[in-house]
């Protein structure tokens, strides 16, 4: 049984003549095209020289400052932040679910849906205060 080159779903039977189908739907054809035409990953910053040690130190300093600030914030604010982060995470799962093969896609999509449902159930409209 031929299957979709993008999502792996079984393809509908071929319509007589013409090129055999490679995708189950227009959405899958488009997704495959998008990936084919996407740039080969980010080439990195356009600089001749990067002082990696300095960059690492600066990054660690920034992370540490961020951590201290986050810990110092009132718990209610920290909760608001966690809700925000969970929303971002849900979006990440949702967007990845469109780009990974189907055995993983439905899982990623399920997580996105479940997290969003939990957020809207317990934190309507981003409300984090009692």
Which residues of this protein are in contact with Zn ion, per CB under 5 A? 4, 6-7, 9, 24, 28
Minimum distance from residue 20 beta carbon to Zn ion (Å): 14
Smallest gap, in angstroms, from Cβ of residue 91 to Zn ion?
22
- Backbone phi and psi for residue 10, each to the nearest 5 degrees, phi listed first: -65, 140
Q: Which is nearer to Zn ion, 4 or 115 (CB)?
A: 4
Question: Minimum distance from CB of 23 to Zn ion (Å)?
Answer: 5
4 or 90: CB nearest Zn ion: 4
Q: Which is nearer to Zn ion, 25 or 92 (CB)?
A: 25
């Amino acid at each position: 049984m031929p299957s979709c080159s993008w999502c792996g779903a079984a393809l509908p039977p071929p319509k007589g003549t013409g090129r055999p189908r490679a995708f189950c739907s227009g959405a899958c054809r488009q997704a495959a095209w998008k990936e084919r035409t996407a740039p080969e990953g980010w080439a990195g910053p356009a600089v001749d020289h990067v002082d990696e040690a300095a960059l690492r130190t600066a990054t660690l300093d920034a992370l540490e400052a961020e951590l201290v600030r986050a810990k110092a914030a009132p718990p209610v604010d920290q909760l608001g932040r966690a809700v925000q982060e969970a929303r971002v995470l849900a979006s990440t799962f949702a967007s990845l679910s469109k780009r990974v093969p189907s055995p993983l896609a439905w899982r990623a999509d399920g997580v996105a849906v479940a997290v969003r449902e939990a957020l809207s159930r317990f934190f309507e409209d981003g409300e984090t205060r009692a």
